[in-house]
Structure 1
Amino acid sequence: MPKLRFSGFAEKWNKKRLDSFLERVSNPVDVIKEQEYTQIGIRSHGKGIFHKEPINGLGLGNKRVFWVEPNAFVVNIVFAWERAIAVTTEAEKGMIASHRFPMYLPKNNLSNVHFLRYLFVTDKGQSYLELASPGGAGRNKTLGQSNFAELKIDLPSLEEQTKIASFLSAVDEKISQFTQKHELLSQYKQGMVQKLFSQQIRFKADDGSEFGEWDQSELKEVAQINPKVKKLPENFIYIDLESVEKGLLLLEKNITLSEAPSRAQRLLSKGDVLFQMVRPYQQNNYYFNLDGQYVASTGYAQIRTELNSKFIYYALHEKSFLDEVMNRCTGTSYPAINSSDLSTIEIGIPCLEEQTKIANFLSAIDQKIEVVAQQIEQAKQWKKGLLQQMFV
């Protein structure tokens, strides 16, 4: 019995062979060479369906393809063990799927495909998929469709399946709403960065007067780049290029000086800005404002300024600055800029009061973005707990 059940349901979950409640549907496509087709793909970890770029029949060659059946349970037999499962929708009607993506519809009114989608992303569900995917080492495990059909799955009544699926769908919808809000706030922030640093939008002084003209200065004229360090501490938290994503410190590594990599050279002080020098277009830069001993990798340029350091941090994300960075980069797969070239890029510098107003305004947006990011993470963790408790 699951640990968490809706009231009104007390019946035992019964083991049923999968082919007793799901039946395979197969509608082959008679491919026409001149016609365009859109194929579906299935992401691992239950992350759903995506649509590939259209391709004509000639491009499909001799590939066996099938019309997508809407509202069907579908599995990628190559990555089933990695939870590459989904449910098709009306949006996929008229699209095609490879023979590697068998589709199934409910049989004998015993199953709800959305319930099964949630079931197969649980740890128990993954164990079922692994059981039906014998053979090869590593990632080379193909789902045996006869093995899949013979799986014995614990199922509640159709009514309880539907109740569980509807509830979890509502949780997913909430996560989707939070995610959309996060995206909109991020887009708004990026738009405001462009407008503020291009001076399309200007703040006024507290007394209502206009601020003066901005100066143009090379970065090295308003900041120290990679300030010298006499000695590193014996113990510190190391920040490497994998530690930061979109301004957030995601990973802290406590290490000793003796085990530290040679790139651990940037001893940080509050207000320092870290600029990602490898693949800078990712904009995984970081504003440091933490207590304790932190050392960053030489993969970052360390920027220290007497100006408003948060203003400098945001200035490094403005499009014209990033364009100048990319123009100075070398390498193709991993474009990188060196500190010397970075230091010669010009940025606009207003008076300190206007710097502060810009920094405070953008920081307030960042705080809102962070709150929504936390809501997304909390909702995902809640859903994870539900999945563990609502299934046998």
Structure 2
Amino acid sequence: MFPKLRFKKFDGDWTAVTLESLAEVERGKFSVRPRNDPRYFGGEMPFIQTGDVTGSDVYLKGYTQTLNDDGIRVSKVFPADTILITIAANIGDTTITQYPVACPDSVVAIQPKQDKVNTIFLKNVIDLQKDNLDSQATQNAQKNINLQVLKPLKLIVPSKEEQNKIASFLSAVDEKISQLTQKLELLSQYKQGMMQKLFSQQIRFKADDGSEFGEWEKTKFLDLMVDLWDYRGKTPKKLGMDWGDGEIQSLSALNIKKGFIDFDADCHLGSEKLYKTWMNKGDLEKDDIIFTMEAPLGNVALIPDDRKYILSQRVVCFKTNKKMVDNKFIFQLILSDQFQSRIEELATGTTAKGINQKSMQKIEVALPPTEEQTKIANFLSAIDQKIEVVAQQIEQAKQWKKGLLQNMFI
């Protein structure tokens, strides 16, 4: 057996082997109950959770907890160059350690046998098994897999020399993705820094004729609105209807992210009949501001076009007084750390926080003249466009790598 895409000079067959023949496969450990007992934390040993693995790239990015000496004694420490794989919640996410770490039992450590397999190569082979592993998960309180699934996992591998060649090539691809990711992070940090300076008036724009704009005026946030379209709690069933056969997309809290609409998130399509009954205030318009007032709290986006949409599940629309405000300025203002912090302060609830109109009445904002609002909005929107371009480049690189892997591996 051999793959479709291959480096020159390699022509030997690839061999079917099990994961446990290539590596030591051990489950992490943390035997303390309750798991958050503070006596075991706060030392220098990184304690890697599933979220740390999921949030990393090829190599472990960081960690949120550490163990002291007592914690180390009730856990399991693994050396650098270990592949960590999540076996609960997000199953099959992997990363490689560059220093010793301890892990709980929701993470499995795979220590490659250096005479048999290249670590980077093995990680990529395992990554291709993610869907397969997920399909074998058992469902209790949450999905999980165990060593009985991982150890006998069948993999097809070439000679160590060919592995090294493939790993070197893939590392170069990963480095390019890493550089783009760093660029994206720097752009995002730059935007946040500029937002802080702009909304605190450390930086001011000037009018086109070079004159100074007037003072910013404080006002209640909701006083900028002529209406707040709130369809929370409405469902077709409560209206005595069903979604029907139609093509009008609903926008739920799952669709609204920090600054954009995720149209790939799961959503309903509604009929014209349902739309007329549900959206009885009228049509949403391009650049209308939609906002999540319940978990996930504080997400905001602009309606991108003049198509019909159905608002549902914790999403409201701010209908602004357009004589007073530029919608794109308000959109950026809501995204700012200052506004998001205020939302968080006023939110109520334990597991799922939310905010109501009464609480939002307490929010005050400083509003510049309309022309300066537009200049600020255009400036920040230009940064958003650069961020979007880099994000697309990252996604394209990842998809290219994925296709490459499917042809380079059996």
TM-score range for the pair, normalised by the shorter chain length: 0.7 to 0.9
1:1-392 superposed matches below 5 A: 1-16=2-17, 18=19, 21-22=22-23, 37-41=45-49, 43=53, 49=60, 51=63, 53-59=65-71, 63=74, 65-66=76-77, 68-73=78-83, 78-79=87-88, 82-89=91-98, 92-93=99-100, 95-97=101-103, 101-106=108-113, 109-123=115-129, 127=132, 139-144=143-148, 148=151, 153-226=155-228, 236-251=248-263, 253=267, 254-256=269-271, 267-279=283-295, 283-297=298-312, 299-305=314-320, 306=322, 307-343=325-361, 345-392=363-410
Letter in 2 for 1:287: L
Asked whether the 8 Å contact 2:294–2:314 carries over to 1, the reply is: yes
**Structure 1 pair 70/140, CA: closer, same or farther in 2 (3 Å)?**
closer
SS of alignment partner, residue 249 of structure 2 = strand
Distance in 1 separating the partners of 2:313 and 2:47: 44
**Structure 1 pair 170/113, CA: closer, same or farther in 2 (3 Å)?**
same
Asked whether the 8 Å contact 1:15–1:154 carries over to 2, the reply is: yes
**Any idea what the Cα deviations from partners look like across 1:7-47, whole Å, max 9, x if unmatched?**
23222212345565546799x9xxxx998643344536995
How far did 1:257 drift? 5.2
Asked whether the 8 Å contact 1:265–1:296 carries over to 2, the reply is: no
Larger Rg: 1
Asked whether the 8 Å contact 1:265–1:295 carries over to 2, the reply is: no
| Structure 2 unmatched runs, 5+ | 30-39, 232-243
| Structure 1 unmatched runs, 5+ | none
**Structure 1 pair 336/22, CA: closer, same or farther in 2 (3 Å)?**
closer
**Any idea what the Cα deviations from partners look like across 1:34-81, whole Å, max 9, x if unmatched?**
9864334453699564545222333456x3634x232244556x5599
SS of alignment partner, residue 303 of structure 1 = strand
**Any idea what the Cα deviations from partners look like across 1:65-108, whole Å, max 9, x if unmatched?**
34x232244556x559932544332xx13x4456874543325x
Asked whether the 8 Å contact 1:238–1:297 carries over to 2, the reply is: yes
% of aligned pairs identical?
38
Letter in 2 for 1:87: I
RMSD: 3.7
**Structure 1 pair 386/220, CA: closer, same or farther in 2 (3 Å)?**
same
SS of alignment partner, residue 224 of structure 1 = strand
**Structure 1 pair 241/64, CA: closer, same or farther in 2 (3 Å)?**
closer
Distance in 1 separating the partners of 2:313 and 2:18: 57
Asked whether the 8 Å contact 1:235–1:293 carries over to 2, the reply is: no
**Structure 1 pair 218/119, CA: closer, same or farther in 2 (3 Å)?**
same
Asked whether the 8 Å contact 1:24–1:104 carries over to 2, the reply is: yes
**Any idea what the Cα deviations from partners look like across 1:294-346, whole Å, max 9, x if unmatched?**
12236233112213111121222334433443343332322222234425533
State the number of aligned residues.
370
